[in-house]
Copies of this chain bind each other. A is one copy, B any other.
């Protein structure tokens, strides 16, 4: 059972807040809000996605790389997935 699931309420709430922020950008564009406000809405949403990414990297690292009952192969695969996401995340 994946540990990043709907039971992780904090995580799902975080995702829903980000959905709300993206919706706010959409509404700001539709209502021709000031460009400065749109600029800051997007920067704030980017910060929120960064926070979500860090939380998921943390959970993934502990569960799928550092977890006590993993085989060496499973650990290596977990490390590969994480590094691929980190490289993409750093872009």
Contact = CB atoms under 8 A, between A and B. Distances in A.
11 contacts: A3-B35, A12-B26, A19-B22, A43-B89, A46-B88, A50-B90, A54-B87, A57-B86, A68-B75, A90-B90, A91-B91
Given A15-B22, A86-B86, A29 B5 contact: yes
Interface string A57-82: 11111111110100010011011011
**Does more than half of chain A's interface fall in helix, strand or loop, or is it mixed?**
helix
Interface string A1-14: 11111101001100
Interface of A: 1-6, 8, 11-12, 15-16, 18-19, 22-23, 25-26, 29-36, 38-40, 42-47, 49-50, 52-54, 56-66, 68, 72, 75-76, 78-79, 81-91
